[in-house]
């Protein structure tokens, strides 16, 4: 196990366990009919040295006050040294996920939105998802987009950790992946606001915590041993016309979210 430069204790053990998911190994080794086989095998490789690792999270769960929760990470073509494989050293896997947004040699996203993979020129290539997440963090924290420090102001995770195109295999893998990793990840997170993005993640959170679909803002709820507000928003790349806090919520609800984030006394008494 690598040293713990971020002060995360057992969180890094969890990070490595997700990135080296034993279920993915079993699917690669020919376990037929497993609920995760479809998404694992969608990468078209057959060994743990080739498959792009499941994503534990991106950013510092131990400090980020906002956690964005979506369906599963998308996948693109990368070479071996551009994205973690299970056979990488612990330190390199940790750098890619815990320090994804900066601070380490293998940090792969700059300014919260631009891809900058280690072996490629640091040409800026942004994604719609990262742009949307940064904008929502900026809106909630009431600061310019450029001043949001991704990984510190907010972290990201998913209900299904394996990568695929257009959520391929997510429905089949949901129950298994959520059962294995969602609660431990939320326990590792200090976030007091969880922003759930998109229909897949919404169904998981709604069913797990008995929430009403037509209500967007819930809480405070005791979720994974911490009082939190949970908010449902459309996915940043989806078709919904309104994707912002101000466009989806009443002004009083937006104010409540901001007060909850900023005032520890309110959180301790509710």
Q: pLDDT tens-digit profile of 53-70?
A: 999 999 999 999 999 999
- Of 9-18, 89-98, 109-118, 176-185, the poorest mean pLDDT is in 109-118
User: Does a structural domain hold residue 172?
Assistant: yes
Q: Are 31 and 25 in contact (CB under 8 A)?
A: no
Tally of domains within the chain:
1
Q: Which residues contact 32 (CB under 8 A, 6 or more apart)?
A: none
User: Does a structural domain hold residue 133?
Assistant: yes
The position carrying tokens 């742009």 is 131
- Give the residues across from 221 on adjacent strands: 228
Q: Are 145 and 163 in contact (CB under 8 A)?
A: no
- Can you give the pLDDT at residue 32? 82
**Cα–Cα dist 123/109, whole Å:** 11
**Cα–Cα dist 4/40, whole Å:** 29
Q: Are 69 and 195 in contact (CB under 8 A)?
A: yes
**What is the domain-level CATH number for residue 116?**
3.40.470
Per residue in 165-199, pLDDT tens?
A: 999 999 999 999 999 999 999 999 999 999 999 99
Q: Are 27 and 172 in contact (CB under 8 A)?
A: no
User: Could you give the 3-state DSSP secondary structure of residue 94?
Assistant: helix
User: Does a structural domain hold residue 4?
Assistant: no
User: Does a structural domain hold residue 18?
Assistant: yes
The domain of 153 spans 11-72+82-269
């Amino acid at each position: 196990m690598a040293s713990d430069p971020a002060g995360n204790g057992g969180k890094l053990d969890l990070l490595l366990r997700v990135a080296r998911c034993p279920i993915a190994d079993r699917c690669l080794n020919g376990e037929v009919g497993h609920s995760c086989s479809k998404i694992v095998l969608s990468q078209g490789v057959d060994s743990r040295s080739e498959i792009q690792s499941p994503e534990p999270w991106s950013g510092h769960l131990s400090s980020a006050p906002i956690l964005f929760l979506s369906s599963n990470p998308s996948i693109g073509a990368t070479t071996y040294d551009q994205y973690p494989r299970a056979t990488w050293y612990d330190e390199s896997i940790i750098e890619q996920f815990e320090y994804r947004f900066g601070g380490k040699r293998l940090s792969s996203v700059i300014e919260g939105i631009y891809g900058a993979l280690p072996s490629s020129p640091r040409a800026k290539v942004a994604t719609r998802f990262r742009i949307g997440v940064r904008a929502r963090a900026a809106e909630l924290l009431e600061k310019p987009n450029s001043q949001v420090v991704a990984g510190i102001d907010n972290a990201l995770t998913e209900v299904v950790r394996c990568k695929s195109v257009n959520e391929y295999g997510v429905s089949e893998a949901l129950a298994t992946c959520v059962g294995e990793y969602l609660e431990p990840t939320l326990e590792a997170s200090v976030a007091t606001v969880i922003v759930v993005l998109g229909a897949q993640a919404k169904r998981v959170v709604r069913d797990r915590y008995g929430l009403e679909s037509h209500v967007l803002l819930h809480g405070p709820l005791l979720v994974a041993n911490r009082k939190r507000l949970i908010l449902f928003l459309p996915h940043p790349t989806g078709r919904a016309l309104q994707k912002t806090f101000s466009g989806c919520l009443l002004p009083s609800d937006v104010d409540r979210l901001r007060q909850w984030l900023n005032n520890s006394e309110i959180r301790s008494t509710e």
